[in-house]
Chains A and B, each alone.
Chain A
Protein backbone atom coordinates (compact mmCIF):
# COMPACT_ATOMS: atom_id res chain seq x y z
CA UNK A 1 0.00 0.00 0.00
CA UNK A 2 2.60 2.53 -1.16
CA UNK A 3 0.35 5.50 -2.01
CA UNK A 4 2.61 8.31 -3.26
CA UNK A 5 6.33 7.60 -3.48
CA UNK A 6 9.00 10.23 -4.06
CA UNK A 7 12.60 9.63 -5.05
CA UNK A 8 15.17 10.63 -4.00
CA UNK A 9 14.54 11.50 -0.34
CA UNK A 10 17.61 13.79 -0.09
CA UNK A 11 19.90 15.39 -2.61
CA UNK A 12 22.66 17.99 -2.62
CA UNK A 13 23.43 19.76 -5.87
CA UNK A 14 25.87 22.40 -7.00
CA UNK A 15 24.61 25.57 -8.63
CA UNK A 16 24.00 24.99 -12.32
CA UNK A 17 23.51 21.23 -12.11
CA UNK A 18 20.31 19.63 -13.30
CA UNK A 19 18.26 16.84 -11.80
CA UNK A 20 14.87 15.14 -11.93
CA UNK A 21 12.61 14.30 -9.02
CA UNK A 22 10.30 11.36 -9.51
CA UNK A 23 6.81 10.97 -8.08
CA UNK A 24 4.88 7.72 -8.46
CA UNK A 25 1.35 6.94 -7.26
CA UNK A 26 -0.43 3.61 -7.26
CA UNK A 27 -3.96 4.86 -6.56
CA UNK A 28 -4.95 5.44 -10.20
CA UNK A 29 -5.37 9.15 -9.46
CA UNK A 30 -5.92 11.55 -12.34
CA UNK A 31 -4.48 14.68 -10.72
CA UNK A 32 -0.92 15.13 -9.59
CA UNK A 33 0.87 18.13 -8.09
CA UNK A 34 4.33 19.36 -7.20
CA UNK A 35 4.77 21.77 -4.27
CA UNK A 36 7.68 23.36 -2.51
CA UNK A 37 7.70 24.26 1.16
CA UNK A 38 10.04 26.82 2.63
CA UNK A 39 10.44 27.82 6.31
CA UNK A 40 7.66 30.12 7.46
CA UNK A 41 5.70 29.73 4.26
CA UNK A 42 2.84 27.53 3.21
CA UNK A 43 3.11 25.00 0.44
CA UNK A 44 3.37 26.67 -2.94
CA UNK A 45 2.26 24.96 -6.12
CA UNK A 46 4.94 24.62 -8.79
CA UNK A 47 3.18 22.64 -11.53
CA UNK A 48 0.27 20.25 -11.71
CA UNK A 49 -1.32 17.77 -14.08
CA UNK A 50 -4.96 16.90 -14.62
CA UNK A 51 -4.23 13.70 -16.51
CA UNK A 52 -1.72 11.72 -18.50
CA UNK A 53 0.03 13.89 -21.07
CA UNK A 54 -1.13 17.20 -19.55
CA UNK A 55 0.70 19.73 -17.40
CA UNK A 56 -0.03 23.24 -16.19
CA UNK A 57 1.82 25.98 -14.35
CA UNK A 58 1.15 26.71 -10.74
CA UNK A 59 2.13 29.61 -8.56
CA UNK A 60 5.94 29.35 -8.79
CA UNK A 61 6.87 27.52 -12.03
CA UNK A 62 10.01 29.41 -13.05
CA UNK A 63 13.13 27.26 -13.19
CA UNK A 64 11.18 23.99 -13.22
CA UNK A 65 9.76 21.71 -15.87
CA UNK A 66 7.46 18.71 -15.55
CA UNK A 67 6.27 15.75 -17.54
CA UNK A 68 3.41 13.28 -17.14
CA UNK A 69 4.09 10.62 -19.75
CA UNK A 70 2.42 7.90 -17.70
CA UNK A 71 -0.62 8.33 -15.48
CA UNK A 72 1.16 7.02 -12.42
CA UNK A 73 4.31 9.16 -12.73
CA UNK A 74 4.91 12.90 -12.49
CA UNK A 75 8.47 14.15 -12.97
CA UNK A 76 9.84 17.48 -11.79
CA UNK A 77 13.00 18.75 -13.45
CA UNK A 78 15.39 21.46 -12.39
CA UNK A 79 17.11 22.73 -15.50
CA UNK A 80 19.91 24.72 -13.88
CA UNK A 81 19.75 24.55 -10.10
CA UNK A 82 20.00 27.77 -8.09
CA UNK A 83 20.42 28.27 -4.32
CA UNK A 84 16.89 29.77 -4.23
CA UNK A 85 15.57 26.33 -5.14
CA UNK A 86 16.80 24.87 -1.86
CA UNK A 87 13.59 23.58 -0.36
CA UNK A 88 11.50 20.57 0.57
CA UNK A 89 9.54 19.31 -2.40
CA UNK A 90 6.27 17.44 -1.99
CA UNK A 91 4.34 15.56 -4.60
CA UNK A 92 0.62 14.94 -4.17
CA UNK A 93 -2.18 13.24 -6.04
CA UNK A 94 -5.96 13.28 -5.95
CA UNK A 95 -8.63 11.20 -7.61
CA UNK A 96 -10.33 14.18 -9.21
CA UNK A 97 -9.72 17.88 -8.93
CA UNK A 98 -10.64 20.51 -6.48
CA UNK A 99 -13.35 18.66 -4.59
CA UNK A 100 -11.16 15.81 -3.38
CA UNK A 101 -8.34 15.88 -0.82
CA UNK A 102 -4.76 15.32 -1.85
CA UNK A 103 -2.46 12.51 -0.76
CA UNK A 104 1.15 13.47 -0.26
CA UNK A 105 4.47 11.75 -0.67
CA UNK A 106 6.96 12.05 2.16
CA UNK A 107 9.03 14.74 0.46
CA UNK A 108 12.42 15.35 -1.09
CA UNK A 109 14.90 17.57 0.75
CA UNK A 110 16.99 19.39 -1.83
CA UNK A 111 19.98 21.60 -1.07
CA UNK A 112 21.67 23.70 -3.73
CA UNK A 113 25.15 24.88 -2.85
Chain B
Protein backbone atom coordinates (compact mmCIF):
# COMPACT_ATOMS: atom_id res chain seq x y z
CA UNK B 1 0.00 0.00 0.00
CA UNK B 2 1.32 3.46 -0.89
CA UNK B 3 1.95 5.85 1.98
CA UNK B 4 -0.46 8.43 0.58
CA UNK B 5 -3.21 7.68 -1.91
CA UNK B 6 -5.65 10.03 -3.57
CA UNK B 7 -8.75 9.79 -5.73
CA UNK B 8 -7.37 9.01 -9.18
CA UNK B 9 -9.44 11.58 -11.06
CA UNK B 10 -9.67 13.47 -13.28
CA UNK B 11 -12.72 15.30 -12.02
CA UNK B 12 -14.58 17.31 -14.65
CA UNK B 13 -17.23 19.52 -13.08
CA UNK B 14 -19.30 22.51 -14.25
CA UNK B 15 -18.78 25.97 -12.82
CA UNK B 16 -20.63 26.40 -9.56
CA UNK B 17 -20.50 22.73 -8.64
CA UNK B 18 -19.32 21.33 -5.33
CA UNK B 19 -16.54 18.77 -5.53
CA UNK B 20 -14.80 16.69 -2.88
CA UNK B 21 -11.43 14.96 -2.93
CA UNK B 22 -10.26 12.25 -0.59
CA UNK B 23 -6.82 11.23 0.52
CA UNK B 24 -5.80 8.26 2.67
CA UNK B 25 -2.52 7.78 4.51
CA UNK B 26 -0.96 4.66 5.93
CA UNK B 27 1.13 5.94 8.86
CA UNK B 28 -1.12 6.34 11.89
CA UNK B 29 1.55 8.42 13.64
CA UNK B 30 1.49 11.19 11.02
CA UNK B 31 0.90 14.59 12.57
CA UNK B 32 0.82 17.24 9.85
CA UNK B 33 -1.42 17.42 6.82
CA UNK B 34 -1.68 19.87 3.96
CA UNK B 35 -3.41 20.42 0.67
CA UNK B 36 -1.41 21.97 -2.15
CA UNK B 37 -2.52 22.92 -5.63
CA UNK B 38 -0.32 22.62 -8.67
CA UNK B 39 -1.08 24.27 -11.97
CA UNK B 40 0.19 22.70 -15.16
CA UNK B 41 3.99 23.00 -15.42
CA UNK B 42 4.15 25.11 -12.25
CA UNK B 43 5.35 24.58 -8.72
CA UNK B 44 3.08 23.30 -5.93
CA UNK B 45 1.55 26.05 -3.82
CA UNK B 46 0.08 25.67 -0.36
CA UNK B 47 -3.70 25.75 -0.43
CA UNK B 48 -4.35 25.08 3.23
CA UNK B 49 -3.18 23.21 6.28
CA UNK B 50 -5.55 20.62 7.73
CA UNK B 51 -6.31 20.81 11.42
CA UNK B 52 -7.78 18.14 13.66
CA UNK B 53 -11.06 19.98 14.12
CA UNK B 54 -11.42 20.73 10.44
CA UNK B 55 -10.96 24.16 8.92
CA UNK B 56 -12.42 26.39 6.29
CA UNK B 57 -10.94 29.06 4.06
CA UNK B 58 -13.55 30.74 1.92
CA UNK B 59 -14.93 28.17 -0.50
CA UNK B 60 -12.52 25.49 0.68
CA UNK B 61 -13.08 23.14 3.61
CA UNK B 62 -10.60 20.55 4.86
CA UNK B 63 -11.42 17.69 7.19
CA UNK B 64 -9.23 15.18 9.01
CA UNK B 65 -10.40 11.77 10.21
CA UNK B 66 -7.58 10.23 12.25
CA UNK B 67 -9.48 7.06 13.08
CA UNK B 68 -9.93 6.21 9.40
CA UNK B 69 -6.69 7.90 8.35
CA UNK B 70 -8.06 10.12 5.65
CA UNK B 71 -8.31 13.78 4.88
CA UNK B 72 -10.70 15.48 2.53
CA UNK B 73 -10.97 18.72 0.61
CA UNK B 74 -14.32 20.22 -0.33
CA UNK B 75 -14.56 22.99 -2.90
CA UNK B 76 -17.87 24.84 -3.11
CA UNK B 77 -19.05 27.03 -5.98
CA UNK B 78 -16.22 25.90 -8.28
CA UNK B 79 -14.54 28.54 -10.43
CA UNK B 80 -12.70 28.09 -13.71
CA UNK B 81 -9.57 29.19 -11.85
CA UNK B 82 -9.86 26.19 -9.53
CA UNK B 83 -8.75 23.93 -12.39
CA UNK B 84 -5.49 22.39 -11.19
CA UNK B 85 -4.04 19.27 -9.64
CA UNK B 86 -4.62 18.97 -5.90
CA UNK B 87 -1.89 17.31 -3.87
CA UNK B 88 -2.37 15.74 -0.47
CA UNK B 89 0.73 16.01 1.73
CA UNK B 90 1.37 14.09 4.94
CA UNK B 91 4.42 14.18 7.15
CA UNK B 92 6.38 11.09 8.08
CA UNK B 93 5.63 11.00 11.76
CA UNK B 94 8.07 13.17 13.70
CA UNK B 95 10.49 13.10 10.82
CA UNK B 96 11.73 16.05 8.89
CA UNK B 97 10.13 15.25 5.60
CA UNK B 98 6.83 14.68 3.89
CA UNK B 99 5.11 12.34 1.49
CA UNK B 100 3.20 13.77 -1.44
CA UNK B 101 0.25 11.99 -2.92
CA UNK B 102 0.10 11.55 -6.71
CA UNK B 103 -2.53 14.29 -7.01
CA UNK B 104 -6.08 14.58 -8.27
CA UNK B 105 -6.70 16.67 -11.35
CA UNK B 106 -9.71 18.96 -11.42
CA UNK B 107 -11.11 20.62 -14.52
CA UNK B 108 -13.88 23.14 -14.00
CA UNK B 109 -15.83 23.57 -17.21
CA UNK B 110 -17.77 26.68 -18.33
- CB of B55, distance to nearest CB on chain A (Å): 13
Q: Is B43 an interface residue (CB 8 A)?
A: yes
The residue that B44 contacts in the complex, of A31, A97, A98, A104, with Cβ under 8 A, is: A104
**A to B contact number (C-beta, < 8 Å):** 54
User: Do residues B96 and A50 form an inter-chain contact, with CB atoms below 8 A?
Assistant: yes
Q: Is A43 an interface residue (CB 8 A)?
A: yes
* A interface SS class: loop
Q: Is B46 an interface residue (CB 8 A)?
A: yes
Q: Is A22 an interface residue (CB 8 A)?
A: no
Mark B42-65 against chain A: 1 for CB-CB distance below 8 A, else 0.
111110010000000000000000
Residues of chain B lying within 8 A (CB to CB) of residue A33 = 97
Q: Which among B32, B98, B102 has the greatest number of chain A C-beta atoms within 10 A?
A: B98
The residue that A106 contacts in the complex, of B43, B94, B99, with Cβ under 8 A, is: B43
**Once bound together, how far apart are the Cα atoms of A45 and B92, in whole Å?**
12
> What residues of chain B have their CB less than 8 Å away from a CB belonging to chain A?
4, 31-32, 34, 42-46, 49, 87, 91-92, 94-103
Pairs across A and B, CB under 8 Å, 28 listed: A31-B96, A41-B102, A42-B87, A42-B99, A42-B101, A42-B103, A43-B44, A43-B87, A44-B100, A50-B96, A56-B96, A90-B44, A97-B95, A98-B91, A98-B92, A98-B94, A98-B95, A98-B96, A98-B98, A99-B91, A100-B32, A101-B34, A101-B46, A103-B46, A104-B44, A105-B43, A107-B42, A107-B43
> What residues of chain A have their CB less than 8 Å away from a CB belonging to chain B?
31, 33, 35, 40-45, 48, 50, 56, 58, 90, 97-107
